[in-house]
Amino acid sequence: MPLRKAIPVLAALNVPRLANWYKDKLNFKIGFCDEGYGIIGRDDIIIHFWHANDEIFPKNTSCYIDVDEVDELYEEMKAAGVVHPNGPLKNQPHGMREFAILDLDGNLIRFGQPLEDN
């Protein structure tokens, strides 16, 4: 029985506010959202949110999103003002070209593409 995909479930201090931030800044679509849980998506990527009462949870959570055309996505995210100051686009020794953002609640999201695809 093959596994199909992993879907990150990130902590949110305010689920509707964070879902709308992803919609406004990162061009995600909101599939479901209430005070306790949210589901957003863009292209083939789905992210879930759960309500957390303590900022320690999102500030210690991250996910990695494998993309095509990482350079174009970086320019989009840079224009939106969401690229982390310590996360500019660069080639990594582990074979990925990647950059990082922090979302509104502090979740670290890294986007990358294998160097051989770039």
Write the CATH number of the domain with boundaries 9-117.
3.10.180.10
DSSP character for 80? T
Q: Per residue in 48-85, pLDDT tens?
A: 999 999 999 999 999 999 999 999 999 999 999 999 99
Burial class of residue 53 (count of CB atoms within 10 Å of its CB; 0-12, 13-18, 19+): exposed
Sketch the domain layout of the chain as residue ranges: 9-117
pTM of the model: 0.93
Sheet holding 108-114, edge to edge: 62-66, 108-114, 96-102, 90-91
CA-CA-CA-CA torsion sign (102, 9, 11, 42): positive
